[in-house]
Structure 1
Amino acid sequence: MPKFIADLHIHSRFSRATSKNLDPEHLALWAQKKGIKVVGTGDFTHPGWISELQEKLIEAEQGLFRLKPDLAASIKPAIPDSCQDSPRFMLTSEISCIYKKNDKTRKVHHLILLPGFDSVLKLNRRLEQIGNIRSDGRPILGLDSRNLLEVVLETSDRAFFIPAHVWTPWFSLFGSKSGFDDIEECFEDLTPHIHALETGLSSDPPMNRLLSQLDRYLLVSNSDAHSPAKLGRESNLFETALDYDAMVKAMTDGQGFSGTIEFFPEEGKYHLDGHRKCRVRLHPEETKSRKGICPVCGKAVTVGVFHRVDDLADRDHPKISKAFFSLIPLTEILSEIHGCGPATKKVTRIYEDLINTLGPELHILMDASLEKIKQTGGVLLSKAIDRMRNNKVIRQEGYDGEFGVIRLFDDGEKDEPYQNRISSDYQGERQGDAL
C-alpha cells in the first residue's frame, strides 16, 4: 500500500481572516512543496467555494479529486522538480454549532468529510434550511451537535464526522468555556458514529491518551490552515489505497492509519492558562491557587488545554497507540537560525533553495539525512533538525490566544565561535553513530 500524508482540515478564502490565495491552484502548489498527497478542500458549505471547486477539479480516484490538467500545468513552473506530484483533494468542511444544552451554552466545531459533490450539495440544501451558510466559509448554526451528526448521516452513509480541535477553550467538544466533560453528553445515542477526534494545535497524543474515555477513538491532526503556507503543520500518515473509502476505513478502525504529524503543543495558542491583555501566563496549579483570577486585573483567566486535560485525565501515564512526530515548520527553524522573520525574503529564498535541492518540506523535517541537510543548509540547520527530531527543544508556552515559541538554540549558540565548536561536536556525534 502507498504511504502518504493527508491534511484534511483547512479553510478557503471564503472563511473569515484567511488568505486571498486560498484557491485550488495555490493549495495544490503548496501541497507539493510540503509533501502532502491529500488535502481537504475546507468550506464546502459555501456556495461560492463549492462552485469554484466544481469548476476547477475533476475526479481522480473514487471520492478524491485533482486539478484539471490546464490548471495543473499553469502552476507546474512554480514547483521544484524535487517536489512535483499530483495532489488530491477531499471534500471537507468545518461547521460551528452554537446552542444550549443541559443549561449551558455550547460552542463546538466539527469537521465533515463527504465522498462527492452530489452528497455535498444535498447536505448544503439541508443546512440552508437551518441557518445561513452563505456569509462565512465556516458557517455558524444554532444546531445541537448530535442533530448535526444526524443530518450528516442521513445525507450519506459514507460521510465521516470528526469533532474538531477538541480541546480549544472557546469552540470545542471538551473546551473549558463551552464544552462537555464526556463525548456521550454531546452526541447521546449517536456517539457510536464518532470514530476519530482531532487533537488541535495545543494538544498532542500523549496529552489525549491520559483519558481512558478516549481509548476507543483514533486521534487525527490537521493544520486548520488559514493560508496555503500553513498546510501540513499538523497532518496524518496513511498507508492505504489512495481513495476516499480506504482513508475513511483507516480512520474508523485504525488499520492503515500510521500516525500523525504534530505541532509541539506548547506552541499552540491555548496551551497554558492566562490573560493575554495582562501578559500573564499560568500553569494549572498557579491558576487553581489564584482561584482562576488574573493577578494583574482581577478578571477570570482563560483556562487552557493543558489545564483542561489535567482536570479530565484519569491516568498518570499516557497509553500511546499510534506513532506521532512533533515538528517545527521549516521557515520557523530558518527564522531562528538567521535572526529574521519566517516570512522575510531571506528565509523564503533559503526555504526555496532547500526544497529545490532536498525535496518537500516534510521530507526534510522527518526523513532527509542530516549529512545532506548539512551540505545544503549548513551545520546549524542540520543540528537544529537533529535536535527537533530528538525532542530537544526549548519551550515557551502559548496562552489565551498567544502562540508559544519553540526554539532550538540557547542564547549565544549561533555565534561564529560556537558554530565552529558545534560543527566539531556534530562530526563526532555522526562518527559515533556509525560505530
Structure 2
Amino acid sequence: MIPIIGDLHIHSKYSRATACTLDLEHLYIWAQQKGINVVGTGDFTHPEWFSEINEKLEPAEPGLYRLKKDIANWCDEVIPLSCRAPVRFMLSCEISNIYNKKGRTRKNHNLVYFSDVESVRRFNKRLGVIGNLHSDGRPILGLDARDLLEIVLETSENGYLVPAHIWTPWFSMLGSKSGFDSIKECFEDLTVHVFAAETGLSSDPAMNWRVADLDRITLISNSDAHSPSKLGREANLFKTELNYFEMRAAIENGDKSKFAGTFEYYPEKGKYYYDGHRNCSVRFTPKETQSQLGICPVCGKAVTKGVLHRVEELATRPEGAKSDNAIHFDRLIPLDDLLAQIFKVGNQSKKVKHTYRTLLEKLGNEFKILKYLQRDQIESAGVPLLGEAIFKMRENRILFSPGYDGIFGTAKIFSDKERLTVM
C-alpha cells in the first residue's frame, strides 16, 4: 500500500522569484500529477494569499483543507484520469528571521504550521505588529527564532515550528554563514518544542545521521517549490489517516510505523552541496577548500562553504554511521530530468513535456512511475531507456557534477557506451 505523500514546504505567487501560476488551482493539479496527497499552502502570512486561502479552500478532514468543489471540478478536467486522487492542504508558511544574537547577525528560515484559519489569523495579527507581511510571501522579520517559536506556541497548542533547510549556507539554523552549531543555541529554553528539522535539497538523512545533536528529532523533507512543476522534489511518507493531528504526531514521535520516511533529492544535485565561488567557476570538495585555506584562487575572497563541508564540521560520527532513530529514505530524480537526460534536451523542451504527459496518461502519477512500478510496466509505455534510467536511479548508480554556491548540480545517467549497449 502506497503511504500518504506530503510536500509541506512550498510557496505562492506572492513570494519573490516564484511562478505566476503558483496558485491553489495549479498546486491542486500538480499535486495529483506528482502523486502528492497533502500539500502545504505556503505563505499564509501574506494578506492576499491568506484571503485566497479563505476564499478557495474549505475544511475537510481534521486540520486539513480542500479546494472548493466548483473550483476542483474545473481543475479535474485537465488532470489525466490515471492521476486523479484527493488532494488536501495543510496551512503552512516560511518566515525569514534576521536578527542579532550574542554579537552575531543570525539569518535562519523557519516553517510554521497550524490546523485552522483562526489560529493563522491570530498569528498573522501578532506578526503584523513586528514587520511588514505585505512585502513578500516569505516575510523578513527582525525576530529571534526562539521568540517566533514562543509566538507559535502561544497562538495554538496544535501549531508547530520546523527549522527549514537546516544546512544551506545563507539562511538556516546550522548554515556556515549565518547559523548556530546546535538546536539549543538557536532555541534555548524552548528547544524541547522543536521536534523536527528539514534536511533541504543539498543534504539527505544519511548526512544528518552523522550529527548526534539531531538524533532526537525527526528529519523531514519538502520541495520548497517556487513553481508548481517543482512540487515533490522531496516529500514525506505517512502511514496515518488524512488528518493534521495524526500527521503532526507521527512527525513529533518519530514513530516508524506512522512516519514511514522521505523521498530525497540527490544532495549532489542541490545548489549548495560542494564549496565554491559561482562567479569564478570554482568548485571545491571540503578537502580542497582546506588545502586552499578557504580562499578562492581566482578572486582571493573566501569561498562559500557548502553543506557537505558544514556537516563534516559538526559531525560526531564517521560517514556511513546511522543514528538509532534512523528512518528509511529513497533518493529520486524528477521524471522530467530523467527524460531530459534520455533525449539529450532541456527539461522544459516540448519533447520532454509531451512525453511526460503521455507517461502520466499511460502509467499514472510521477511517484508511482519513479518508485512503485515494476520494470516491465515502465517499459510498456514505449520510451527507450526509461526503465533502465529509473532502475539506475533506484539503485544509486548515477554520476554527478555536484552543485555549489547557488548552482544546481547535474546528474549523468548514461555514458555514450551505455547508451549503445542499452539501445
TM-score range, shorter chain: over 0.9
Any conservation in 2 of the 1:354–1:377 contact (CA below 8 Å)?
A: no
Residue by residue, what CA displacement relative to the aligned partner does 1:193-241 show, whole Å, maximum 9, x if unpaired? 0000000000000000001111101000000000000000100000011
Any conservation in 1 of the 2:66–2:89 contact (CA below 8 Å)?
A: yes
- Residue 153 of structure 1: aligned partner: 153
Which of 322, 337, 342 aligns to 1:319? It is 322
Q: What SS does the aligned partner of 2:352 have?
A: helix
Any conservation in 2 of the 1:207–1:318 contact (CA below 8 Å)?
A: no
- Residue 83 of structure 2: aligned partner: 83
The correspondence of residues 11-410 of structure 1 with structure 2, limited to 5 A, is 11-255=11-255, 256-316=258-318, 317-319=320-322, 321-410=326-415
Residue by residue, what CA displacement relative to the aligned partner does 1:62-103 show, whole Å, maximum 9, x if unpaired? 110111010011011110010001200000000000001111
Q: Distance in 1 between the 2:297 and 2:19 partners?
A: 37
Q: Distance in 1 between the 2:167 and 2:329 partners?
A: 18
Q: Distance in 2 between the 1:318 and 1:106 partners?
A: 30
The TM-score with structure 2 as length reference comes to 0.97
Q: Distance in 2 between the 1:157 and 1:377 partners?
A: 52
Q: Distance in 1 between the 2:382 and 2:178 partners?
A: 46
Q: Distance in 1 between the 2:382 and 2:403 partners?
A: 29
Q: Distance in 2 between the 1:254 and 1:285 partners?
A: 34
Any conservation in 1 of the 2:64–2:243 contact (CA below 8 Å)?
A: yes
Any conservation in 1 of the 2:273–2:306 contact (CA below 8 Å)?
A: yes
The TM-score with structure 1 as length reference comes to 0.95
Q: What SS does the aligned partner of 1:277 have?
A: coil
**AA at the equivalent of 1:315:** R
**AA at the equivalent of 1:313:** A
State the 1:412 CA deviation. 4.2
Q: Distance in 1 between the 2:27 and 2:367 partners?
A: 16
Structure 2: unaligned runs, 5 residues or longer: none
Any conservation in 2 of the 1:271–1:398 contact (CA below 8 Å)?
A: yes
**AA at the equivalent of 1:369:** Q
**AA at the equivalent of 1:57:** L
State the 1:379 CA deviation. 4.0
State the 1:10 CA deviation. 0.1
Q: What SS does the aligned partner of 1:92 have?
A: strand
Structure 1: unaligned runs, 5 residues or longer: 424-435
State the 1:132 CA deviation. 0.7
Q: Distance in 2 between the 1:157 and 1:79 partners?
A: 37
RMSD: 1.0
Q: What SS does the aligned partner of 1:106 have?
A: strand
Any conservation in 2 of the 1:98–1:143 contact (CA below 8 Å)?
A: yes
Q: Distance in 1 between the 2:105 and 2:314 partners?
A: 20
Any conservation in 1 of the 2:261–2:327 contact (CA below 8 Å)?
A: yes
State the 1:284 CA deviation. 0.5
Q: Distance in 2 between the 1:405 and 1:377 partners?
A: 26
State the 1:289 CA deviation. 1.3
Residue by residue, what CA displacement relative to the aligned partner does 1:124-181 show, whole Å, maximum 9, x if unpaired? 0000011111110000000000000001100001001100000010000001001000
**AA at the equivalent of 1:389:** R
Structure 1 residues 178 and 304, CA gap change in structure 2 (3 angstroms):
same
Which of 395, 402, 418 aligns to 1:413? It is 418
Q: Distance in 2 between the 1:286 and 1:394 partners?
A: 20
State the 1:185 CA deviation. 0.7
**AA at the equivalent of 1:325:** D
Q: Distance in 1 between the 2:402 and 2:131 partners?
A: 37
Q: Distance in 1 between the 2:194 and 2:294 partners?
A: 33
Q: Distance in 1 between the 2:350 and 2:140 partners?
A: 38
Q: What SS does the aligned partner of 1:216 have?
A: coil
Any conservation in 1 of the 2:217–2:254 contact (CA below 8 Å)?
A: no
Q: Distance in 2 between the 1:351 and 1:377 partners?
A: 12
Task: Name the stretch that deviates more: 311-320 or 182-191.
Answer: 311-320
Any conservation in 2 of the 1:2–1:241 contact (CA below 8 Å)?
A: no
Q: Distance in 2 between the 1:102 and 1:286 partners?
A: 31
Q: Distance in 2 between the 1:422 and 1:22 partners?
A: 39
State the 1:411 CA deviation. 3.0
Q: Distance in 2 between the 1:126 and 1:58 partners?
A: 24
Task: Name the stretch that deviates more: 373-382 or 28-37.
Answer: 373-382
Q: What SS does the aligned partner of 2:97 have?
A: strand
State the 1:2 CA deviation. 7.7
